[in-house]
Amino acid sequence: MQLGKLTIDSPFWLAPMAGYTDAAFRSVCHDFGGGLFYNEVAVAQGLIRDSRPSWHLLETRDDEGPVAGHIYGGEPDVMATTAAMIEKTGRFVAIDINAGCPVRKIVAKGAGAALIRTPETIGEIIKAVCSAVSLPVLLKTRIGFEQDCSRITEIAQAAEEAGAAAIAIHGRYAARQHRGPVDWEQIRAIKARSTIPVLGNGGLFTAREAVDRLTENGLDGVLIARGAVGNPWIFEDAERLWRGEPVRERSLAELRSVIETHLSRLVELKVKEARCRRRSGFDPDRGTALHFRCHLIQYLSGLADWVDIRRSMNTLTSTTRIMQAVDTVISRQRPER
């Protein structure tokens, strides 16, 4: 996919997810492929005020592949200034405008999904950001805010006319958040009339689903969100299926290695986070253990006899205890042939 001067090799991207898509998780996913990766959404006003916690959300690693700086805000001049600051770091390959996050506190600020109601404002933000940076500017949005009140045609037109390099569309209404079916028909219709790349997003939990939605809708790419949690291999699997190759089986030893690597990288990130906060409730190792629980549940899901570990999740307060729990679960599995 060509985004201005930027070439992205894979059509399978990691969608931004608050609390998940930090540098540690992105880098683990990149170990198994993927095209473009988004940071957790950061508030433009916080970045301008030089808020250290806000800037921490844009922390990157050298080994994590191409990253888009993903920001939200409702004022074109503020978004433009923030985008220019992000570009100056030299750590991002694109700027992504969030016009789809349904979180109430973000919507209340007139940002995120609130922008869906005024496509002209989306166009103004994109135009301002494009004027402030040399990086390609992307848009992530939804088909509409309220049920059966689609605005995606107006949004896509405004984004394209303002200079967006690509648009990623979540096929649910913001009011539905992550519930209900994904309307791929509307995404397909936008792709049919757009001259810029269009990507689809929503409800992709397997590599096969990602490939099928990509091909049957004629899209330029798809964004994978919750389907990658506990399953960073989904990018490798999707790319293999897309090329007509079989997916490979993974051993319990590889599962353990990936969990250990993820934990190690998350500890490094938590050390940096502790430096940017005045008061941190936990030391980096304990903070990592608490943060990692949501990932651990998904990594171990489907394995035999792991329910006991899930029931005792509150006792996993260190990375050592997490790895001990992982080893316990693995020891309960049938010997691999």
Q: Are residues 11 and 88 in the same domain?
A: yes
Mean pLDDT to the nearest integer, 150-179: 94
Q: Which residues are catalytic?
A: 101
Quick check: 337 pLDDT over 50? no
Q: Are residues 82 and 187 in the same domain?
A: yes
Q: Are residues 230 and 262 in the same domain?
A: no
Only one residue has tokens 């399953």, namely 231
pLDDT digits (tens, 9 = 90+) for 247-272: 999 999 999 999 999 999 999 999 98
pLDDT digits (tens, 9 = 90+) for 76-85: 999 999 999 9
Tell me whether residue 149 is in a domain.
Answer: yes
Percent of the chain, pLDDT > 90?
81
Identity of the residue numbered 95: I
pLDDT digits (tens, 9 = 90+) for 13-47: 999 999 999 999 999 999 999 999 999 999 999 99
Q: Are residues 193 and 211 in the same domain?
A: yes
pLDDT digits (tens, 9 = 90+) for 137-146: 999 999 999 8
Confidence of residue 308 (pLDDT cuts 50, 70, 90): confident
Q: Are residues 60 and 170 in the same domain?
A: yes
C-alpha 71/C-alpha 77 separation (Å) is 13
Which of 67-71, 83-87, 103-107 is predicted least confidently? 103-107
- Please count the structural domains in the chain: 2
Per-residue pLDDT, 157: 97
Q: Which domain holds residue 311?
A: 252-331
Mean pLDDT to the nearest integer, 213-237: 97
Mean pLDDT to the nearest integer, 207-211: 98
Q: Are residues 210 and 313 in the same domain?
A: no
Question: Average pLDDT over the chain, rounded to whole?
Answer: 93
Q: What is the 3-state secondary structure (H, E, C) of the chain?
A: CEECCEECCCCEEECCCCCCCCHHHHHHHHCCCCCCEECCCEEHHHHHCCCHHHHHCCCCCCCCCCEEEEEECCCHHHHHHHHHHHHHCCCCCEEEEEECCCCHHHHCCCCHHHHHHCHHHHHHHHHHHHHHCCCCEEEEEEEECCCCCECHHHHHHHHHHHCCCEEEEEEEEHHHCCCCCCCHHHHHHHHHHCCCCEEEECCCCCHHHHHHHHHHCCCCEEEECHHHCCCCCHHHHHHHHHCCCCCCCCCHHHHHHHHHHHHHHHHHHHHHHHHHCCCCCCCHHHHHHHHHHHHHHHHHCCCCCCHHHHHCHHHCCCHHHHHHHHHHHHHCCCCCC
More confidently predicted of 335 and 191:
191
With a CB cutoff of 8 Å and minimum separation 6, the contacts of 41 are 16, 18, 57, 70, 71, 72, 98, 101, 106, 112
Q: Are residues 219 and 259 in the same domain?
A: no
Mean pLDDT to the nearest integer, 44-73: 92
Instruction: Out of 223, 242, 261, pick the residue that ends a domain.
Output: 242
Per-residue pLDDT, 334: 76
Which of 162-166, 306-310, 314-318 is predicted least confidently? 306-310
Q: Are residues 201 and 220 in the same domain?
A: yes
Q: Are residues 216 and 276 in the same domain?
A: no
Tell me whether residue 337 is in a domain.
Answer: no
Q: Are residues 301 and 197 in the same domain?
A: no
Tell me whether residue 67 is in a domain.
Answer: yes
Quick check: 336 pLDDT over 60? no
Which of 92-101, 226-235, 274-283, 316-325 is predicted least confidently? 274-283
